[in-house]
Amino acid sequence: ALIDCQENSETILKLVNGIMDISEAGAGTLALKRGVVESKLIIESVIDLYGFVAEDKKIQLISQINHPFTINGDKTRLIQAIANLVDNAIKYSSSDTSVIIQSDIEEGYGIFKVSDQGPGIAARELEKIWERLYRIDSSRSSRGLGLGLSLVKAIAVAHKGSVGAYNNAISGTTFYIKLPT
């Protein structure tokens, strides 16, 4: 009973902390420890964090640095955002697939992209996924609080950036974070 109570307390604490971060970002008060951040180092850090998780599920993590970039940002928060996207990609992908983490530059913006080969997301839900506590019907049976993607958005907005997602041509979804360089 005590172990269950402790687990429930930890879940509630994560929920409250996530909501606080999102609320602070929405109010423009999310504290960022800014410094020069290289996109390549962000991707390498996330791959180090999730390498074993992906390996256990027989998913290959692929780093694709098309165009590296640097920004004035909070390294820890950016790792948190990309890690959340990678965690979701691994969670919803089947074994023997890959998750690609990209760095690119488009129209003067640095772009992080995370692409999976999962089932994709219904077009009507692509905009809703960024809302606080929103969960796609098909994901309601899996673990999660429905805060991850809204926290990703909050971190991007705190960096004066934006987020988006689209379904890939064959299978899966690509999520992106667009940041001013």
Mean pLDDT (whole number) for 35-48: 95
24 neighbors 31 (Cβ within 8 angstroms) = yes
> Residue 146 — pLDDT band, cuts 50, 70, 90?
low
Q: Indicate the pLDDT class of residue 136, thresholds 50, 70 and 90.
A: low
> Is the pLDDT score of 122 beyond 70?
yes
- What are the E-state strand segments in 43-96? 59-65, 70-74
The C-alpha angle with vertex 172 and arms to 141 and 37, in degrees rounded to 5, equals 95
Copy the structure tokens of residue 170.
């064959």
Nearest to 112 by CA among 56, 146, 73, 145: 73
Rounded CA gap, 26 and 20, in Å?
10
Q: What is the pLDDT confidence band of residue 95, given thresholds at 50, 70 and 90?
A: very high
State both tokens at 37.
């951040």
CA dihedral 9, 12, 13, 17 (to 10 degrees): 180
Q: What is the pTM of this model?
A: 0.79
Q: Which DSSP helix (H) or strand (E) runs through 102?
A: strand 97-106
Q: Residue 150 to residues 1, 23, 134: CA-CA distances in angstroms?
A: 32, 10, 9
